[in-house]
Amino acid sequence: MAADKTQGWSGDSFDRYKEYRYCLSMTVIAFVYSGFQACDLAYHLVTQKHMFSNHSRYHLNFFMDQVLAYLLMSASSSAATRVDDWQSNWGKDEFTEMASASIGMSFLAFVAFAFSSLISGYNLCNRNPA
């Protein structure tokens, strides 16, 4: 999405449209959160302990997975409507094709977070109380 800039008279760029900026920012936030989750999982696989062993970790994981899944869906949907509006008014071009590919990847990230929220919900309900 950030690389979606065109040359020529229109000089379009993703940063000219708030829908694309919203989609990119939610994707970056989700990526950073996923990176922290991956580090915690790798640490757990090596040491058999979590980086944060607080009992509220299960609640935080479930909450963040849910919130980020909904925000990714919202951001992807808003960017998709911008692309649809653009294509209905001016037709397809390289700019809209790159934006559509980025939106597709954002929807895939939503699916991953949806599955992650199912898993974290299961972990929340079946955790050890000790």
Q: Which tens digits make up the pLDDT trace of 3-16?
A: 666 654 456 677 77
Predicted confidence at residue 9, as pLDDT, reads: 42
Inter-CA distances, 20 with 77, 85, 102, 111, Å: 10, 13, 9, 19
The average pLDDT across 46-58 equals 86
The pTM for the full model equals: 0.84
CB 92 within 8 A of CB 4: no
Show Cβ contacts of residue 121 under 8 Å, excluding neighbours closer than 6 positions: 62
pLDDT band at 103 (very low <50, low <70, confident <90, very high): very high
In sequence order, the 6+-apart residues with CB closer than 8 A to the CB of 105 are 27
Domains of the chain, by residue range, sit at 17-51
What would the pLDDT profile of 105-114 be if each residue is shown by its tens digit?
Answer: 999 999 999 9
